[in-house]
């Protein structure tokens, strides 16, 4: 049995694709007892109706997927973990960086793993979850207790039929995604436009080079492989062009009046800069502008 904490788009995508009857959502405090029911629209098939029960007291999951927003993760796990065995692997799906390290530091004796995924899922209306784009999911350990479980966790997730791969250096994957999110998401939220449109906007053109210079310094300071600012900009713009018509997750959060993940994207880079004595005025400006939208 796989337990899922966080019934947003990503949690519902995994719940709908993993074998039926082997998945349960972890109840949050004060949760209504009814099962979670929704329609699921696969990429190239008819929509199906999905019913996912809540994890019952005494049920012991083989794996806990955590698909909460980065900012809610620690609090949600503090409420959920007392009833989950110490040996159950915790697989974190959060965007950005910072929340994963908080979890690994708070529960050092539990197996903590992280996933980086390019699967696309959204909820265009309350009872509907759409698998919007096929991608890949990489799974790797964040602490020594997690290492021996990477293969098993990858196999459990691969039962969904989605492409899941074990990853030795999951931090590298999380950094790759962080760079893309740092260069796209805040701009789309501030400019209130789809990903592709930022490229033509003076605000983006004014700040993208200094932003990439900051990120390039931070990568070196964090001991990650170095990338020139030009290479970072190319990577960001290739994704913005490939996903030109998409609404980024951050713009979607702002439009839906949800808290964004800015503190774990440009906000994380700003804090990292402080730690290493690297000035990050562009990350700070983007963080503040998105915080004001919230
Ligand atoms: O956060 C997102 O929305 C996505 O990671 C990305 C790559 C910006 C595409 O929309």
Average pLDDT over residues 80-104: 97
Question: Which residue pairs, CB below 8 angstroms and at least 24 apart, start in 275-281?
Answer: 276/218, 276/221, 276/222, 278/214, 278/217, 278/218, 278/221, 279/214, 280/214, 280/218, 281/210, 281/214
* 249 ligand 1 Cβ < 6 A: yes
- Range in 53-57, 149-153, 213-217 the model is least confident about: 53-57
Residue 42: which residues within 8 A CB-CB, separation 6 or more? 16, 48, 131
pLDDT greater than 90 at residue 72: yes
Q: Which atom of ligand 1 is nearest to the CA of 246?
A: 10
pLDDT of residue 294: 78
Query: How far, in Å, is the centroid of ligand 1 from the Cα of 161?
Result: 22
**Parts of the chain belonging to CATH 3.40.50.720:** 2-168
HEC string of 223-271 equals CCCCCCHHHHHHHHHHHHHHCCCCCCHHHHHHHCCCCCCHHHCHHHHHH
Looking at ligand 1, which residue's alpha carbon is closest to its atom 1? 249
Looking at ligand 1, which residue's alpha carbon is closest to its atom 9? 248
Residue 63: which residues within 8 A CB-CB, separation 6 or more? 2, 3, 88, 89, 91, 153, 156, 157
Query: How far, in Å, is the centroid of ligand 1 from the Cα of 194?
Result: 10
pLDDT of residue 121: 92
**Parts of the chain belonging to CATH 1.10.1040.10:** 172-293
Q: Which atom of ligand 1 is nearest to the CA of 252?
A: 3
CA atoms of 284 and 273, how far apart (whole Å): 10
What does pTM read for this prediction? 0.94
pLDDT of residue 31: 77
Domain 172-293: give its CATH code: 1.10.1040.10
Looking at ligand 1, which residue's alpha carbon is closest to its atom 4? 248
- Give catalytic residue positions: 177
As a residue count, the chain comes to 294
Q: Is residue 218 within 8 Å of 269, Cβ to Cβ?
A: yes
Looking at ligand 1, which residue's alpha carbon is closest to its atom 6? 248
* 94 ligand 1 Cβ < 6 A: no
Fold of 2-168: Rossmann fold (3.40.50)
pLDDT greater than 90 at residue 33: no
Query: How far, in Å, is the centroid of ligand 1 from the Cα of 249?
Result: 6
What's the pLDDT tens digit per position in 164-216? Answer: 999 999 999 999 999 999 999 999 999 999 999 999 999 999 999 999 999 99
Looking at ligand 1, which residue's alpha carbon is closest to its atom 5? 181
pLDDT of residue 66: 98
HEC string of 117-166 equals ECCEEEEEECCEEEEEECCEEEEEECCHHHHHHHHHHHHHHHCCCCEEEE
Query: How far, in Å, is the centroid of ligand 1 from the Cα of 246?
Result: 8
Q: Which atom of ligand 1 is nearest to the CA of 247?
A: 10
Q: Which atom of ligand 1 is nearest to the CA of 181?
A: 8
Query: How far, in Å, is the centroid of ligand 1 from the Cα of 178?
Result: 10
Q: What are the angstrom distances between the C-alpha of 21 and each of 2, 41, 55, 81, 262? A: 10, 19, 11, 22, 36
* 180 ligand 1 Cβ < 6 A: yes
């Amino acid at each position: 049995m796989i337990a899922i904490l966080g019934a947003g788009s990503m949690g519902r995508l995994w719940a709908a694709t993993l074998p039926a009857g082997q998945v349960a959502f972890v109840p949050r405090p004060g949760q209504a007892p009814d099962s979670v029911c929704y329609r699921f629209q696969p990429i190239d098939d008819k929509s199906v109706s999905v019913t996912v029960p809540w994890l019952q007291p005494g049920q012991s999951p083989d794996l806990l997927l955590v698909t909460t927003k980065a900012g809610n993760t620690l609090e949600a796990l503090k409420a959920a973990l007392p009833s989950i065995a110490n040996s159950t692997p915790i697989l974190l799906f959060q965007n950005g960086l910072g929340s994963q390290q908080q979890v690994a530091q708070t529960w050092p004796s539990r197996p903590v793993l992280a996933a980086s995924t390019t699967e696309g899922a959204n909820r265009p209306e309350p009872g509907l979850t759409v698998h919007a784009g096929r991608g890949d999911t990489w799974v790797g350990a964040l602490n020594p207790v997690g290492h021996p479980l990477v293969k098993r966790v990858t196999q459990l997730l691969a039962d969904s039929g989605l492409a899941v791969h074990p990853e030795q250096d999951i931090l590298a994957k999380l950094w790759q995604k962080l760079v893309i999110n740092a260069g796209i998401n805040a701009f789309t939220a501030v400019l209130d436009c789809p990903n592709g449109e930022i490229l033509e906007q003076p605000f983006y053109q004014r700040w993208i080079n200094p932003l990439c210079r900051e990120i390039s310094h931070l990568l070196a300071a964090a001991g990650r492989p170095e990338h020139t600012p030009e290479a970072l900009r190319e990577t960001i713009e290739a994704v913005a062009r490939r996903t030109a018509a998409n609404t980024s997750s951050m713009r979607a959060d702002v439009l839906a009046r949800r808290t964004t993940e800015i503190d774990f994207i440009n906000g994380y880079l700003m804090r990292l800069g402080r730690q290493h004595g690297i000035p990050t005025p562009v990350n700070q400006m983007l963080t503040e502008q998105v915080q004001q939208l919230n």
